[in-house]
Amino acid sequence: MLPLSPAEIRMMFGRLRDTMGIIVLSRRDICCCFVLPLILLWSPLEAQTRYTIPEELRAGSVVGNIAKDLVLDVSAAADRRLRIASGSGKQYFSVSAEKGELVVNEQMDRESLCGQRVPCVLPLEAVVENPLQLHRVEVEIQDINDNAPGFNSRERTLNVPESITPGAKFLLDSAEDPDVGSNSLQSYSLDRNKHFVLNVKTQDGIKIPELVLDKPLDREKQAVHKLILTAVDGGNPVRSGTCEITVVVLDNNDNAPQFEKSFYEAAVDENQLVGNDVMKVSAVDLDEGPNGEVEYFFADKTSDALKSVFEINPKTGVISVKGLLDYEQANLHKFDVLARDRGNPQMEGHCSVKISVNDMNDNDPDIVITSLSSPVPENASVNTVIALISARDVDSGQNGRVNLTLAPGSPFKLSPSLSNHYSLVTNGPLDREAFPEYQLTLNAIDSGSPPRTSQNTLKITVSDVNDNPPVFSQRSYTVYTQENAALGSILCSVSAHDPDLGHNAKITYSLLDSRVQDVPISSYVYINSENGSIFSMSSFDYEKMKVLKVQVQARDQGSPSLSSNATVHVFIVDQNDNAPAVIYPSAALGSVSHQRMPRSAKAGHLVTKVTAVDADSGHNAWISYRLAEATDASLFGVSFHTGEVRTKRSVSEQDDSSQRLLIEIRDNGEPAQSSTVTVEVLIEDGFHEPVSESRQKSPELNKRSGRITLYLIVALASVSSLCLMTFFILLVKCARGSRGGSSCCIRRSDSGYKTPNRNLQIQLNTDGPIKYVEVLGGDVMSQSQSFGSYLSPMSEFSDFTLVKPSSTTDFTDTLNVLDASLPDSTWTFECQQVSVC
């Protein structure tokens, strides 16, 4: 306001009275501008001019003709310098000098000038000079909808837990619209969504929007909701403002971990290395953060055994091998796995897992000997069951199918019974003596690939059965013993062997009962039952017995016992224990034999013939004669061999008529034995040969000679029959011998006639009827192995000098004995003067 002098004020009032009742109305502008002089009418002194304009007029816009309205001449107005006086503030209006119009000086914003004040009136003072007058002018600025409702912040974020219940309210910022009246904020709206609705409440005249949860939230379905809140005013056109509301749904641990499958299945080979992966389980938790972090565990009820075999990685869910996977212990593992999140409270999900274990051929077959009956008696029949064997393999299927075999080469076989069960049976005869023990090798092989094998040995002992009789070391024994040997001397030892065992092999020796010369054999010999030594019980006399046949028996102690026999031929070897015995001339011991001879006898006259026999044999029986003493040794001579006493020369007259001869008869033994005979020779004149006379004339003599003849016939017949028997034996021998292809009859000899060192020679020297039979056995050079008999050194008068009965009756026996004792010998039989046979 300009400072007005009191004169100016008085002038102004004066003018105001002058213009009373005049309405100044300016219609020059687009807006309705009214000058209301009516007011002035009421108060002529304070009459005011009032204009109404909309806000936001551009500069230069005419508000009204103020000069006119103030009833001023336009020219006068210019002269009087009509102007708008303004206070300290902005000069929004000015007066154009030419036309006196009130012009907008600067664009005005109602909201900044008046805010929410209504009406918004700007008071102006128009000043004119000469005289100075002051006019009050008001300009009312009307609102236009030039502002949209606006939010303080265009974005708003709400964190809402997903568990919140419907009905929950969230206060939102209200929007502001500086316009007034209907141009101001009228309403809010929310874009279409599923979960929220809008509620607007009025508080102190201000509309406040609220977000109300209508339906429950699920973060897992939608974690973030974007909403647009729109504020609308009532202007024309309508203006609006928006705010973007972001609702972040906060996670709640409302989801349990969920396995992809409720049931997992896997197969794994047994004997996997520790640490190998088997399978993987996997669970998903829709929650986020720790609520969605899943860890895997074995279910609580899982056995420790399973936990020792498998382990599970809590982070990854990989199940791996932890311990030994053995199909044979467990071929199927079933367990539960749980997944647990880390929310609060924790939530769990479960699944079941089945892991089957595949069998591998990891077990050797096993050979089990269920029962074994050993030892086996050697007489066990074929198919006797000896052992029950089973072959096992803990693997399954082909890996557990076992084939059991027995190494060949034994009298046993396996016969299969039940599956994988076998019985070991005998397959042939057993012989403990040959094989007392068997080591059987059993091989088991399974059908796996590659197959596995195992071995077992079975020791089977064979027990003894008394199936072998004792066997003598020789079928027959030949023993030579000197006659007159000491009583109780050991003759020989027989021995038998029994391959059996124990009692079955324990041998006792005994003599088989027999009689020799009517005396039991036990009187002759004794056998040590323990060791088979045979002792003499008597001293033998060769002259009584040449050979002793002893049957011995060896018997084992088995049950039943077995025995075998052997023959021992005890050959009694001659000793020169007999002196030659003078048979002729017979003379009582110590007496003298008297012989007569004619004095006319010529040289060579047979005086007598000394005949002697020696009971010994061989050399011991070879007798020689010698004239030991003689009255006249020149007259008589004794034939060394024949014992014939002959005159050496013709007897002369001078010769003594009584001649005494001492003849020594000596055998060839060592030492030699001898005897003597004394012959008294009576030389008679005219003496004739007495022999024929006495034989012819003496009836007693005839009778005697007839008897001798009978004896001779008997002897001859017996010798002949002996011969025949001998031939018969020889024939048998021949028949036996010819089987071997040899062609001999009388003489069987492979080694030749010239070496009859082991032969049987029978000599029948018969330059009488029979003189001498000699049987040679063995080495012909050894006289100890020969024996012979003089049958009859024939002489016309020697009637009783015949064969010793033993020599002839035992003749065939003797041959047999010899044949038996010389089984492999070649032997010759010589029969001199075959005509006898």
Ligand X SMILES: *[C@@H]1O[C@H](CO)[C@@H](O)[C@H](O)[C@H]1NC(C)=O
Q: Which span (12-20, 183-191, 361-369, 526-534) binds ligand X, by CB under 6 A?
A: 526-534
Sign of the Cα torsion 428, 429, 431, 434 reads: negative
Gyration radius from the chain CA atoms: 86
| C-alpha dihedral sign at 178, 179, 184, 190 | negative
Count each helix (H run) and each strand (E run) in the chain, helices first: 10, 56
Q: How far is the CB of 690 from ligand X (least distance, A)?
A: 59
Which amino acid is it at 197? V
Report in angstroms how near the CB of residue 820 gets to ligand X at its nearest. 15
Q: Does 528 bind ligand X (CB under 6 A)?
A: yes
The answer to whether 530 touches 508, Cβ cutoff 8 Å, is yes
Of 483, 619, 618, 620, nearest in space to 545 by CA:
483
DSSP of 433-484, one letter per residue? TT-SEEEEEEEEEESSSS--EEEEEEEEEEEP-S----EESSSEEEEEEETT
Q: CA-CA distance, 60 to 51, in Å (whole number)?
A: 16
For ligand X, which is the closer residue by CB, 549 or 594?
549
How far, in Å, CA of 547 to CA of 819, rounded? 13
Judged by CB under 6 A, how many residues of this single chain contact ligand X?
9
Cβ-contact 552, 509 below 8 angstroms: yes
Give the one residue of 441, 533, 642, 749 binding ligand X; rule: CB under 6 A. Answer: 533
Taking Cα atoms as reference points, which of 250, 249, 285, 278 lies closest to residue 264?
A: 278
For 38, phi then psi, to 5°, come to: -60, -35
Judged by beta carbon, residue 204 or residue 513, the one nearer ligand X is 513
Strand ranges across the sheet with 240-250: 155-161, 240-250, 224-233, 185-190
Cα angle at 414 between 410 and 418, to 5 degrees?
170
CB of 469 to ligand X, least distance (A): 7
CB closer to ligand X, 567 vs 575: 567
Nearer residue to ligand X within complex by CB, 16 or 817 = 817
* Token pair recorded at residue 360: 């591998």
The nearer residue to ligand X, 20 or 537, going by C-beta atoms, is 537
Question: x/- string (CB under 6 A) for ligand X, residues 402-431?
Answer: ------------------------------
Strands 402-406 and 437-446: antiparallel
* Minimum CB–partner distance for residue 465 and ligand X (Å): 18
Which residues within the stretch 542-561 sit at the binding site for ligand X (CB under 6 A)? 553
Binding to ligand X, residues 144-173 (CB under 6 A): none
Q: In whole angstroms, how close is the CB of 513 to ligand X at the nearest point?
A: 8
Q: Which two tokens stand for residue 52?
A: 């109404």
Smallest gap from residue 806 Cβ to ligand X (A): 24
Please state the closest distance from residue 410 (CB atom) to ligand X, in A: 33
Question: From the CB of 514, what's the least distance to ligand X, in Å?
Answer: 8
Toward ligand X, which CB reaches closer, 489 or 657? 489
Q: Report in angstroms how near the CB of residue 551 gets to ligand X at its nearest.
A: 6
Interaction of residue 510 with ligand X, rule CB under 6 A: no
Give first-to-last CA distance, the chain, whole Å.
215
Cβ atoms of 309 and 334 closer than 8 Å = no
| Residue 531 near ligand X by CB under 6 A | yes
Amino acid at 262: S
User: Residue 120 or residue 566: which is nearer to ligand X going by CB?
Assistant: 566
- Of the candidates 275, 265, 287, 267, the residue with the CA atom closest to the CA atom of residue 337: 265
Min dist. Cβ of residue 423 to ligand X (A): 39
563 part of the interface to ligand X, by CB under 6 A: yes
Interface segment toward ligand X; rule CB under 6 A; list 527-535, 537-545, 679-687, 763-771: 527-535
Instruction: Label the pairing between strands 240-250 and 318-321.
Output: unpaired
Interface stretch with ligand X, choices 260-268, 270-278, 562-570, 577-585 (CB under 6 A): 562-570
For the record, the structure tokens of 478 come out as: 């030949």
The residue among 553 and 608 lying less far from ligand X, judged by its C-beta, is 553
Q: Where does this chain touch ligand X (CB under 6 A) — which range of 158-166, 350-358, 563-571, 639-647?
A: 563-571
Work out whether 522 is an interface residue with ligand X (CB under 6 A): no
Q: Least separation, in Å, of the C-beta of 563 and ligand X?
A: 6
Q: Which residue's CB is nearer to ligand X, number 280 or number 549? A: 549
DSSP H helical ranges for 46-166: 66-69, 74-79, 110-114
Kindly tell me which residue out of 271, 565, 642, 757 binds ligand X, with binding defined by CB under 6 A.
565
Q: Residue 550 CB, nearest distance to ligand X (Å)?
A: 12
242 vs 493, beta carbon nearer ligand X: 493
Closer residue to ligand X, CB minimum distance, 403 or 563: 563
Amino acid code (one letter) for 69: D
- The Cα 484–Cα 479 span in angstroms is 15
Write out the DSSP string of 508-574.
EEEEPP-EETTEEGGGTEEE-TTT-EEEESS---TTT-SEEEEEEEEEE-SSS--EEEEEEEEEEEP
Give yes or no for residue 456 binding ligand X (CB under 6 A).
Answer: no
Which of 7, 32, 206, 512 lies at the binding interface for ligand X (CB under 6 A)? 512
Task: Check residue 564 for interaction with ligand X (CB under 6 A).
Answer: yes
* Residue (322 or 549) nearer to ligand X, CB: 549
- Residue number, 513 or 518, with CB nearest to ligand X: 513
Residue 487 CB, shortest distance to ligand X, in Å, is 14
Output 183 or 564, the one with its CB closest to ligand X.
Answer: 564
Least distance to ligand X, CB of residue 564, Å: 5
Contact set for ligand X, span 478-497 (CB under 6 A): 493
List residues near ligand X by CB under 6 A: 493, 512, 528, 531, 533, 553, 563-565
